[in-house]
Amino acid sequence: MSTAPTRVQLRLANDWFEVCDRARLTPGRGLAALLPDGSQAALFLDREGRAYAIDNRDPFTGAAVLSRGLLGSQDGRPFVASPLLKQRFDLETGRCLDDDEVTVAVHSVRIA
Amino acid sequence: MPTPQPNPAQTPPRPTLVLVGHGMVGQRFLEAAVERGLAASHRIVVLCEEPRPAYDRVQLTSYFSGRTPDELSLTDRDFLDAHGIELYVDEPAESFDREARTVTARSGRVFPYDTLVLATGSYPFVPPVPGKDATGCFVYRTIEDLLAIEEYAKKHATTGAVVGGGLLGLEAAGALRGLGLATHVVEFAPRLMPVQVDEGGGAALLRTITGMGLTVHTGTGTQEIVTGEDGSVSGMKLSDGSELATDLVVFSAGVRPRDQLAREHGLAVGERGGITVDAQCRTSDPDVYAIGECAQAVDGRVYGLVAPGYEMAQTAAAAIAADREASFTGADLSTKLKLLGVDVASFGDAHGTAEGCLNVVYSDSRSGTYKKLVMGAGGELLGGVLVGDADAYGLLRPLTGTVPPVPAEQLVLPAGAGAPVALGPESLPGSAVICSCHNVTKDAIQACATLPEVKKCTKAGTGCGSCVKVIGQLLPHSGGKGLCGCFAQTRQELYEIVRALRVTSFRALLDGHGREAARGGEGCEVCKPTVGSIIASLAPTIGAEGYVLDGEQAALQDTNDHFLANLQRNGSYSVVPRIPGGEITPEKLIVIGEVARDFGLYTKITGGQRIDLFGARVDQLPRIWQRLVEAGFESGHAYGKALRTVKSCVGQTWCRYGVQDSVRMAIDLELRYRGLRAPHKLKSAVSGCARECAEAQSKDFGVIATASGWNLYVGGNGGATPRHADLLAQDLDDAGLIRLIDRFLMFYIRTADRLERTAAWLERIDGGLDHVRDVVVHDSLGICAELEALMADHVTHYRDEWAETLDDPDRLARFVSFVNAPGVPDPTVGFVPERDQIKPDLPLLSLSPRPLEGASR
């Protein structure tokens, strides 16, 4: 007997790291998670219920704020816009859409 | 001053074109002459009788809503200079010699001419009643007339009477009303505007105008002007035997063509006046043309409207440039005007004189609306009269002569009544004239891409402006216009969609109204907060949840709105409690100090007379606000595109110069508009006297006390592009001030673009300040009741966002640094000391596990 998957998990090295219950995520918004190595991840849920995770640190300012940016989509690809200076980052590749030189780390994420 | 003519040994010399008269039609002739290349081939001399060059006589009465004579000007010095046109003001033509082909001006200057154009206009008709020349009798035709009336009225008059209830008479009545006089209108005909409107229309007009406090005497003649002992006007004897006491009389009983000069020099004139011209506007002397109100057109009529005058100006310019195609054989008398704030339009066979025609009439006495369409036996639209609501004029006039594509009754019913009207400008034929001032067809308009281009290339929309709305509907939606990649609409259009369709969710709006490619997507960082703000502004009215952190709304807000605080560069937040009017008790001041001390916050006094507390981590915000709310503070909305603060000076209570209680008014305003979501932040101030210590003229809406009330200024700004606010209205009482601010703010919220402050909005919006004043002061769009209702909804439903947040554990749950470690503070938010307080530890940010990429700042 199985129940609907509700736990949001991040891939770290060889393990799935459990972050929180899916219900904590609001579609279109993000949350920050503290990882075992002291770094931070920004988690997002889109309106279709797909989850994404990237590094929480905004590379332009150094502040750990990407989780507080707004989720958007362009040509079907999801992105987050930094709440500080509004640069956008592709949630699937981590690539900055406003500066080719800049990328943030991407984590695999699943709802299990 | 005339431009000195360069005089090289030019052979042969250029022929000279002399224009006598520089009114609206004269100016239009100059523009047409330049377009036809006549300025290059001719020396052009203009003799202008008035002390100022051409101005917009049609809009004369707008002087009383703040338009200055300079702003009424139609003449651009650069235009004259660029084309070497010599303009002599205060210099009427006195005589001309058709043999020698010279014109002599009043100063004695003599100008030779090869071609002479007479555009001398008309003069007001003063009925030959006894006393008509007494001191206190005026006509209303020029800026000088207006200034003379103003000067006399200020010194000697509390009551004024206008003889004539036609178009010009009602304009004059508007002027007297604008001067604050108790105003009477005496009209011989049984109804107002007898030429333009029928009995029903006249009745609707009468009701509305009487409702404004004017006294109207129709079916009444003026028999005598009565004077007092000093020889100045004291009253009028009327044909019904009564006597009307008045201090001032304005004759506005029609105009007569100024054809005297032509008569004296043997040119043919019509039986009832007007210089006779042919279809090319040529008089009986082939070197002399006559255009505008001084001319009798080939159809035997003298046209007293500006649009036919413009057409004659163009025809004469074409004929002089040897274009044989152009001709003026007559014009219809369609007009749309706004008199005393009331829309009046008539077009085609307005009086139903065609055989077998039948009327379709809609009349609503309550709203002063009257609409009549005259339909021909074959179902074709022949003409009509619209009073009170003439929005349909732009569509109906071009349809004249055709069978309308929908039943006639649907054309007169107000929007929303009965079956919806599917009629739009797309149903018009390409040859339909959309701009009747400049005779521009639908095809010509659709050859352009944007409204500015239409105005530049065709002049359409630059006359009376009544067609601008239809032009907008005819133009393609340009790709660059939309809000963002997700919506092709502007913020204003989205506002209207949300309001009209009561859309309460971003998704519904995106999926139903977004660009095709964006539907089903997430939106973006531009449209989400914009739509969030629109829904928040309209929440009580459209039935959406007002609290900005609930449901889907939570996902739309920028982080500042999401955490009800202002994000700073290291990821910490600042907190600004509301201090209405900048007034605060010592106890509350102590609470702020204690909270700052206990949480280790950096404190700074803001420019808006409040206190900003910096350096709070997201998880500290609820505890900080718990303390502040307990002490009676509310959110200051420093994080929102919303009302920030209403500054004040100390005012009459303490200041020896103050004339009103500015602090009380500032508090009242701040409490009224707190929490109001807008396209951008809103700032305000109230000064207690004209010394303006609160700097109200640099605010979105600023209030300055006067001895008898308040002056309201709008559209001020500091910042990168400072702008002094414009005076919107003067000497308002408390209730009048608040009502006007309610309307102004709601109109701004409704029509501004995203992140457009009131200063930029006022500069951008069509018609600028005058238009905004028309809408919010004179209710020209009839929406003021709705704007006031929207604000009343806002005021009723205001709740403090922080108090609500603290009351709800679900809402508090988001105030953690980490979802998986609620108690752990964000280690990257740290501080170091500076000047006895804290500042962000920026090196800490670059020491994060991963090195900085890209530019850091």
Query: CATH no. for residue B364?
Result: 3.30.390.30
Nearest partner of B303 among B282, B273, B324, B327, judged by Cα:
B273
Choose, out of A70, A74, A104, A106, the residue to mutate when testing the contact with B (most B CBs < 10 Å): A70
pLDDT digits (tens, 9 = 90+) for B285-314: 999 999 999 999 998 889 888 888 999 999
Instruction: Judge whether A64 is closer than 8 Å to chain B, CB to CB.
Output: yes
The 10s digit of each residue's pLDDT in B638-693 is 999 999 999 999 999 999 999 999 999 999 999 999 999 999 999 999 999 999 99
Distance from the B507 Cα atom to the nearest Cα atom in chain A, whole angstroms: 9
Collect all residues of chain B within an 8 Å Cβ-Cβ radius of residue A40: 818, 826, 828
Q: Classify B469 as helix, strand or coil.
A: helix
* A83 and B CB contact within 8 Å: yes
Q: Are residues B158 and B243 in the same domain?
A: yes
Kindly state whether B822 is in contact with chain A, defined as any CB-CB distance less than 8 angstroms.
no
Q: Are residues B284 and B350 in the same domain?
A: no
B669 and B640 co-located in one domain: yes
Strands (E), B677-803: 682-687, 701-706, 709-714, 726-732
- B820/A63 CB distance under 8 A: no
- Chain A, residues 11-30, CB within 8 A of chain B, namely 18-20, 24, 26-29
| Residue-level pLDDT at B41 | 92
Q: Which among A27, A32, A38 has the least Cβ separation from residue B555?
A: A27
User: What per-residue confidence (pLDDT) applies to B847?
Assistant: 54
B60 falls within a domain? yes
With vertex at residue B427, the alpha carbon angle to CA B421 and CA B433, rounded to the nearest 5 degrees, is: 120
Nearest by Cα to A56 from B554, B821, B615: B821
Tell me the residue type at B802: W
The last residue of one of the domains, among B423, B454, B470, is B423
| Higher pLDDT, residue A42 or B4 | A42
Residue B842 lies in a domain: no
CB contact under 8 A, A78 and B853: no
| Shared-domain flag, residues B116 and B244 | no
Using only C-alpha atoms, chain A has a radius of gyration, in whole angstroms, of 14
Question: What residues 30-59 of chain A have any CB closer than 8 A to a CB of chain B?
Answer: 31-34, 37-40, 43, 46-47, 55, 57, 59
**B571 and B829 Cβ atoms separated by less than 8 Å:** yes
Does the beta carbon of B842 lie under 8 angstroms from any beta carbon of chain A?
A: yes
In this structure, the answer to whether residues B666 and B756 fall within a common structural domain is yes
State the residue for tokens 């029509």: B751
- Residue B306: phi and psi, rounded to 5, are -75, -35
* CA distance linking residue A104 with residue A92, whole number of Å: 10
Pick the residue of B522, B561, B810, B811 with the most A CBs within 10 A to test the interface with A by mutation.
B522
B154 and B226 assigned to the same domain = yes
The reply to whether ipTM tops 0.85 is: yes
Residue B88 sits in a domain whose CATH number is: 3.50.50.60
Q: Is A73 in CB contact (< 8 Å) with chain B?
A: yes
Domain that holds residue B156: 137-253
Q: Which among B54, B110, B120, B104 has a CA at the least distance from the CA of B283?
A: B120
Strand, coil or helix: what is B74? coil
Structure tokens at B72: 């009424």
- Per DSSP, what are the bridge partners of residue B45? B18, B86
- Do the domain assignments include residue B487? yes
Residue B172 domain-assigned (yes or no): yes
Q: State whether residue B850 sits within 8 Å of chain A by CB.
A: yes
- Out of B517, B525, B819, the one facing A33 most closely (by C-beta) is B819
pLDDT of res. B854: 36
Chain B residues closer than 8 Å to A66 by CB: none
Sequence-distant (≥ 6) Cβ neighbours of residue B500 within 8 angstroms: none
Answer with the one of B201, B222, B253 that is the final residue of a domain.
B253
CB B124 within 8 A of CB B156: no
- Closest by CA position to B680, among listed B643, B705, B717, B718: B643
**Which stretches of chain B drop beneath a pLDDT of 70?**
1-12, 414-427, 452, 462-466, 469, 476-481, 545-551, 847-857
Structural domain tally of chain B? 5
pLDDT above 70: percentage of residues in chain B: 93
Q: Is residue A91 less than 8 Å (CB to CB) from chain B?
A: no
Per-residue pLDDT band at A17 (split at 50, 70, 90): very high
The upper half-sphere exposure of residue B452, i.e. CA atoms within 13 Å in the direction of its Cβ, equals 3
Confidence (pTM): 0.53
Structure tokens at B57: 């006589």
Helices of type H across B83-156: 143-156
Residues of B in contact with A18 (CB under 8 A): 820
φ/ψ of residue B572, rounded to 5: -85, 175
Which residue in B522, B842, B857 is closest to A73 by CB distance? B522
Whether B244 and B261 map to the same domain: the answer is no
B756 in a domain, yes or no?
yes
Q: Residues B615, B758: one domain?
A: yes
Nearest chain B residue to A80 by CA distance is: B525
Q: Are residues B614 and B749 in the same domain?
A: yes
User: Which string of DSSP letters, residue by residue, matches B406-429?
Assistant: S-HHHHHSPTTSSSPP---GGGS-
d(CA B853, CA B33): 64
Which domains are present in chain A? Answer: 7-111 (2.102.10.10)
Asked whether residue B709 is domain-assigned, the answer is: no
pLDDT at B482: 79
* B 793-812 near A (Cβ less than 8 A): none
Q: Does B845 touch chain A (CB under 8 A)?
A: yes
Q: Report if residue B830 sits inside a domain.
A: no
Per-residue model confidence as pLDDT tens digits over A44-86: 999 888 999 999 999 988 999 999 999 999 888 999 999 988 8
Instruction: Number of A to B CB contacts under 8 A, please give it.
Output: 135
What residues have CB less than 8 Å from B495, skipping those under 6 apart? B534, B537, B538, B749, B750, B751
Predicted pLDDT of residue B857: 34
Please tell me whether residues B351 and B409 are part of one structural domain. Answer: yes
Mutation for B interface: A61, A82, A104, most B CBs within 10 A:
A61
A86 lies within 8 A of chain B by CB: yes
Query: Is B826 domain-assigned?
Result: no
**Do B762 and B768 meet the contact criterion of CB atoms below 8 Å apart?**
yes
Do residues B793 and B673 share a domain?
yes
Which residue does chain B place closest to A47, by CA atoms? B522
* Domain end marker among B495, B519, B547: B547
| Closest CB to A63 among B485, B571, B849 | B571
Q: B163 and B233 share a domain?
A: yes
- Residues of B within 8 A of A62 (CB-CB) are 570, 828, 842, 845-846, 848, 852, 856
**Does A78 lie at the interface with B, CB-CB under 8 angstroms?**
yes
